[in-house]
Structure 1
Amino acid sequence: MQSRRDFLKLSAATPLLTGGVPLLNALSSMNTMAASGDDYRALVCVFLFGGMDCHDTVLPYDVASYNSYAQIRSSLLQSYAALPGGSTRGRETLLPLQPAAAQFGGRQFALPPEMSALHGLFEQGKAAIVGNVGPLLQPTDRALFQSNPWQLPDRLFSHNDQQSTWMSFATEGSQLGWGGRFGDFAAGVGANLNNIFSQISLAGNTVFLSGDSVGPYQVNSSGVPSVALLEQPENVIPQSLADILRDHFTSAGANRSNLLQRDFIDLSQVSFDANELLSAALESAPGFTTEFPASPLGAQLAAVARTIEVRTTLGASRQVFFVAAGGFDTHSAQASTLPALQQDISESMAAFYATTEEMGIASEVTTFTMADFGRTLTTNGDGTDHGWGGHHFVVGGAVNGGDIYGDIPVAELGHAQDAGNGRLIPSVAVEQLAAALGGWYGLNGDEVAAALPGLGAFPDGALPLFQ
């Protein structure tokens, strides 16, 4: 049977209740407690739906490693070579990385030329790479993978399930995400005057932002969605009638004895009030000189920047944002599709970082990528198949950038972190990445452990991503 709490979370996802959350008093009982510190912190998750090819993102660059890679991926590299203008995957076209640490035994790495903007941030120390990160239950290698399947995450290589596992440590149907758990702790210490704006999604309803006391407030890249009927000009719907309609939609003055009816009314009123507050704040916000790519991802990150700009009006000191891009399930035609996607990621994230510099808060905002999974090192001709571990970016002024954390396994088959066909068995658990982000966000050790219950299985703990 569906619980009342489940009903509220479902109701919060309806179009009318775009601003709804599973927290009944999200707006009406503004928290007047002082924030835990005078600073602002925001986490921005960029989710790459479909599973970006890690092997085609952080490429081997030393001659021996590149030659091994080129032999295994010969068919895919031929597809690149056949493109108009020639290949962007020849060793001479790659952008070499110079990480601060020399933990790879002389092996070197590079980014594809389409990711020059992120490469520049890496060289400036504003971006880091987390190598071979993914869902794990415990440290795992090829031997354990082959002998103890019950000690592995459920439903590996499944899109929906691994998206959910990255976001919530459980397969599809999970209700609480680790971004939401972070928001719960921020709400618990009064970090925000108005908790409804603590978790903001530009990419629809998402478990990543769902906690026990907070949930995703959904907007879009154009601003705050509204009820179309109320947006009609006065010569179509007079203002007096528009006011009556708004009272109808919010059930103003209604007195219901049924709990679910009262909850629905409360959520409706919360939604309208929050939407109007944010809409008015955005209309009065100044613009930025930084230009964003004319892409859905660029538009989403531009909207995040505008929302952060009005954080004081919203009473927000701690926020978690969710944006997304799709098209990364490159089973075929990878050479003709992936480079443009990579360029979009790179330029959109770099533009967003430049905007945080404009606002003077580059060290108070951290952006990071996640995806369903990486992909196989082997190819199926002109594409790749579902993998497991992958390489991801973390960008921000507080990041210990210019370095690679975790591991990037050798470009060979059959090594200790190969689950078969070059599917990387993660060397770093999602919890270890999340723990670093949570600590920077302001959670203490006990709170990080509570938000990430699987962290204790990994003795190395959080990655040293931050100053």
Structure 2
Amino acid sequence: MASNRRDFFKALGASALAHTALTAAPTRFTAHAADRSGYKALVCVFLFGGLDCHDLILPYDAESYDQYAQLRSSLLDQQGTARQRNNLLPITPATSTVLEGRQVALPPEMPQLERLFAQGRAAIVGNVGPLIEPVTRERFESGSARLPPRLFSHNDQQAVWQASQPEGAQFGWGGLFADALLASGANASLPQFTTITTEEVGPFLTGRFAVPYRVSVAEAARVDFLEDYYDGLAGERAELLEAVRNQLTASSYRGDHLLERDMAAAFSGGLETNEAYSEARQQGISLSTRFPPTPLGMQLKTVAETINVRDRLFASRQIFFVGLGGFDTHSAQARNLPRLLSQIDGAFAAFQASMEFLGLGRDVTLFTASDFGRTLAVNGDGTDHGWGGHQIVLGGAVKGGEIYGSLPPPTLGHHADSGGGRLIPSMAVDSYAAELGRWFGLNESELSAALPGLTNFDSLADTFI
């Protein structure tokens, strides 16, 4: 039965993809396709709530640290020795000039990220955020700049990060990246495994044709439960179970009503997709990497296990979405944020180790995103909503050991301060996403279709991947 099920689903997927290619290619994907040989995956780790970028990359030279300590004295008092300068983990970019002579460090909760940075497998991309056009402080203060809608709103900025539009956006750039790949013939046998999430996801993975497939992080999650009951059964019981399966797959439906036909296809495809995924996971080799038993660790373990069975899912390109909440640190930041940073550190290190174990160290790139950064100024025991923020990019293909974008000084009133240390982004999300898309195999025409605001920004002088 398993082989019949797989054959059916491959045929179903090929039929759906043929329709996708016929309808999409003439109008949207006209340029010569980029190189899509081999396997590649993008993994988006969304940090919900707004990660405090000023606590991710900290000043380390004495002058900058003293400026920072004066502005954040109430938080530093609550953090005790954790943020004292001699406990920080200095990182030294090899050639980057964005620091302008300053020194920076990671927090003490991230020793494994510091090691990955030193090994050239991780990079920091500074001051990334939603933009419609380049914005200066002067234009911001005069009101002459075109700004993203509903700045500083959680739901809206999550959507703008994922889809270039506020809450209610329909298509995300991850889903549109997937559309381009599907239209060119990638993942033709099982297109349903192109965009995968372990988390309730907004628009990021939804394209005009790509639909996110959600997987469980539970150990040995199974959906082919009916097969457990077939062995040794005969007669009426076997017939009853077969009838249940036929009902779940709508295999007996023969009507012409469009809505009923679509619902029947959804029932059939959903069960077949779940069973194909479950079967592939059960037959994959075990990973030797030990992941931390944290929410993020378990999600990234699930992603690693799914990548491990990529050949059984007939996937040459995949985009994953995982999420971690708790970063809206208006209060109790000194207590809560270090635990979250430690969780990121352990999960990221285990994930990179698992990719190297699979021989995919250079073929999988993980990157972070978040609602926004936060204010440098404190409100007592926390920080408030910001705009630009710093991001982590991880993987063997990353030009690691470097800091890209910009890292404004830890002061108020500088050229990128929109008030209270809210950073005006120096790099648009569109530019950040485009770098990832080029590595992933999209050409410029496909990138422009997925990122319509990209034409408002110059190409990056220093590419991070």
Task: Tell me, yes or no, if the aligned pair for 1:36 and 1:190 is still in contact at 8 Å.
Answer: no
Is 446-455 or 377-386 further displaced after alignment?
A: 446-455
Superposed CA deviations along residues 161-194 of structure 1, whole A, max 9, x for unmatched, are: 0000000000010011000111011101111122
The TM-score normalised by the length of structure 2 is 0.89
Work out which of the residue numbers 146, 150, 154 in structure 2 matches 1:155: 150
State the partner residue of 1:92: 86
Structure 2 residue runs of 5 or longer lacking an equivalent are 1-10, 22-32
Alignment of 1:38-437 (within 5 A): 38-81=37-80, 87-103=81-97, 104-148=99-143, 151-193=146-188, 194-222=190-218, 240-437=239-436
Q: Is the 8 A contact 2:206 2:212 kept in 1?
A: yes
Structure 1: distance between partners of 2:242 and 2:156: 45
**Contact persistence 1:35–1:192 (CA under 8 A):** no
Query: Which range moves more in the overlay, 224-233 or 247-256?
Result: 224-233
Query: What displacement does 1:299 show?
Result: 0.7
8 Å contact 1:435–1:462 — kept in the other structure?
Answer: no
SS in 1 for 2:315: coil
More displaced stretch, 146-155 vs 237-246? 237-246
Cα pair 1:436 1:462 within 8 Å, conserved:
no
Residues in 2 aligned to 1:447 and 1:50: alpha-carbon distance in whole angstroms: 30
Q: Distance in 1 between matches of 2:399 and 2:195?
A: 25
Asked if the contact 1:36/1:191 (under 8 Å) is kept, the reply is no
Query: For 2:57 and 2:464, how far apart are their aligned partners in 1?
Result: 18
Q: What SS class does the counterpart of residue 385 from structure 1 fall into?
A: strand
Gaps of 5+ in 1: 1-23, 82-86
SS of residue paired to 1:392? strand
Cα offset for 1:90? 0.4
Structure 1 CA distance for aligned equivalents of residues 274 and 14 of structure 2: 11
Structure 2 residue identity aligned to 1:176: F
Q: CA RMSD in A?
A: 2.4
- Please give the alpha-carbon distance, in whole angstroms, between the structure 2 residues aligned to 1:285 and 1:435: 33
Equivalent residue, structure 2, for 1:8: none
**Whole-Å separation in 1 of the counterparts to 2:58 and 2:370:** 18
State the distance in 2 between where 1:229 and 1:311 align: 23
Identity %: 50
Separation in structure 1 between the aligned mates of residue 244 and residue 136 of structure 2, nearest angstrom: 61
CA drift at 1:239:
5.0
User: SS at the partner of 1:113?
Assistant: coil
Alpha-carbon displacement from aligned partner over 1:176-222 (angstroms, at most 9, x marks no partner): 10001110111011111221100001102431001111110111212
Change (3 A) 1:149 1:201: farther
Q: Is residue 47–residue 370 contact of structure 1 (8 Å, CA) maintained in 2?
A: yes
**Cα offset for 1:142?**
1.4
Distance 1:110 1:239, change over 3 A: farther
**Alpha-carbon distance between aligned partners in 2 of 1:35 and 1:464, rounded to the nearest angstrom:** 18
Counterparts of 1:238 and 1:418, CA distance in 2? 71
Q: In the TM superposition, what whole-angstrom CA distance separates every residue of 1:262-304 from its partner, at most 9, and x where no partner exists? A: 1111011111111111111100111111110101111111111
Write out per-residue CA displacement over residues 10-40 of structure 1, whole angstroms, 9 at most, x where no aligned residue.
Answer: xxxxxxxxxxxxxx96465466999954310
Amino acid at match of 1:202: T
Number of residue pairs aligned between Structure 1 and Structure 2: 438
Deviates further, 241-250 or 103-112: 241-250
2:151 maps to a residue whose letter is L
Distance in 2 (CA, whole Å) between partners of 1:403 and 1:238 is 64
d(CA) in 1 for partners of 2:274 and 2:389? 37
> What is the CA distance between 1:250 and its match in structure 2?
2.0
- After superposition, what is the alpha-carbon deviation per residue over 1:63-106, rounded to whole angstroms, capped at 9, x for unaligned? 1111000000000001101xxxxx21000000001101241221
SS of equivalent residue, structure 1 residue 324: strand
Which amino acid is the alignment partner of residue 304 of structure 1?
V
Deviation for aligned residue 1:422? 0.6
Q: Is the 8 A contact 1:435 1:463 kept in 2?
A: no
